[in-house]
Structure 1
Amino acid sequence: MKILITGGAGFIGSAVIRHIINNASDSVVNIDKLTYAGNLESLASIESNERYLFEQVDICDRAELERVFNTHTPDAVMHLAAESHVDRSITGPVDFIQTNIVGTYTLLEATRAYWNGLSDQAKKVFRFHHISTDEVYGDLPHPDEVESSEELTLFTETTPYAPSSPYSASKASSDHLVRAWLRTYGLPTIVTNCSNNYGPYHFPEKLIPLVILNALDGKPLPIYGKGDQIRDWLYVEDHARALYKVVTQGKVGETYNIGGHNEKQNIEVVKAICSILDTLAPKDTPYAEQITYVTDRPGHDRRYAIDATKISNELNWQPEETFETGLRRTVEWYLNNQEWCQHVQDGSYQRERLGI
């Protein structure tokens, strides 16, 4: 196939592209606006491959999208382009409304116009795969709030939406648009909702890369509130494998939740990073001494956890990395790629706190 991937210079998008180029025979057209979090250095290992092309395009630009579709004639779209940091959405929600809602609408309409012009056979093959987040579901009961473990439910594909932040609300809106374009226009769409990703090439505004880099620089390691917020952690390369399975084997109209089976409190994650760094990059004092508790994020969801039974049963996908192996690989990558870390922060972000 020829797959058009939006946001392919971002964290998850670049992982998907590297996976496809390195493990499949499909070709990829990557369109990315190259905002602060998009970096073509994340694709340096495959950029010269004859099956890969890059177009710098904003998904809100209908004319440019139409040009890309008409020029490259893709067989599928994987839509990953999004503003994704909750703290940034609190500080400046307008970018999230524009990219995640208006951008998704514009892409859907450009895709629909292109799809309507395909032959009947090509229409049947075509897929529009929308990649979303578990945050659209709101939060789940926390162990501190229940009397028994039986009350600790998980997100399923039928969990009602209850987004808490401008970010999750904008992603929920985009999910609804995608499903509406299937129901109303027949556009063959699939939706996936994932848990917290981590791994190489992650922009350092997110918890794990932020902690790694702050620790190495001797800076405070900020923990929101008590640090008891629980997330289900998914190694990004496992997610990339899942997404490729969905776009090639998933059923039109279905939703698939993708999780890592790794529920951890934020404080556990930070302490685990410190422990790995104590081994791999030892210094005179333990890294955990840099942990600092700060005022919590407004409206902070306490627990996310995904039930990934459906994708396991129907598409035979399971994560390969445990949290322990994935986290060690992640820390090792950041230790070995300090130049990339410096380049992505130059002039745009110096790990300051946002969303206060």
Structure 2
Amino acid sequence: MISVFIGMKPETIAPGFTAIGSPRAAKVSAAACRSAAAMASRFASVAARKSLLLAATGESDDEAVTARYIPSFRCTLSPSPLRGETVKTRDWPVNGELFQLIALACDVNAALAGNKLRVAPDHAAYRFCRSISFVTLEENPSGEWQESIVAATPDLWIESLFEERAVGAALTLGPRDDEPLAERIATAFAGGGGDWALEIELPGNIRQKWIARWEAGERHASDDKIWRVTYGCIDTSPGPPHQPPDLAAASDELERALVAIRSFAKRQGHLDNFIDTFETALKCLAAPPGRPAYPLDSYMQILAPRAANLLQAAECAWVFGGMGSWNDMGFEGAADIEYQRVSDDLYVAINGAILAAVNNSLGPKA
């Protein structure tokens, strides 16, 4: 078996949905009453803001891909008070950019729901970031796009959301038209994978779309805080009312994908570590509501019990990293066809589970 990541940066599980609740969906349009010309103008404006924000690093695409990796992947052991077991925990359970989006969405909804807990800078989702700021992007009279600071920290940004009477936060996922690699492969690299965004719902079904720019600062910092993260608001427009996600459907899809990929792994005879991973995820999925298989991370406290189990299972099932990960394998003939299928199915199911679980923290809990 040959590594498909030879020559690429190893282990980039960390740095580096648009209809709510579906990873297969395309982007949600604005109000249907807008004219075609107005729609074209709005999408051009959104594209300009997005391009400006992501191009501000001053790096070439190759440099951005190869340089944006975080300090070495960490795996520690912690006791489970609920089961009396010792379990593996990871600082970055999924792609690091996505991990921060998950935590930030949950933290926003917890704050808006009256939870007094503030964003913890030493939490794994934020620990490696020197700064996390929030900006808007506007075109000045001369036609140039400029960034205007909204908040210098997540806590200050959340305070601004109170001033805007925000309803809550949700994740969105859209396709990446500019991605030459398959999404589950590209997600091993900074900025790769699907077009993830954080959507803030304001009164009147107004939506703000925020995307992140990750810039490597001092790459050998002694405290490992090498990232400067900037969230930019690239669109504000009407959207449909929030619909509660279908937790049962997302759970069923993830269970089917896990059973299928575990079956494939068992038949290969040398993938015990991955089999253990898939079985751990199934255990999380099967846990009774309110009795999670393993201790919940702090940002999961806002989730309903079924949603927390689903998110924990999705994070445990994430195997899409760089060298040495599930992505980094090759098979021949029928085995390779099945490997590609079960891998793609699991990737889609995990994304769907993340969307459903996190977006359950917006509005009434299922």
TM-score by structure 1 length?
0.23
Task: Determine which structure has greater relative contact order: mean sequence separation of CA pairs < 8 Å that are 6+ residues apart, divided by chain length.
Answer: 2
TM-score by structure 2 length?
0.23
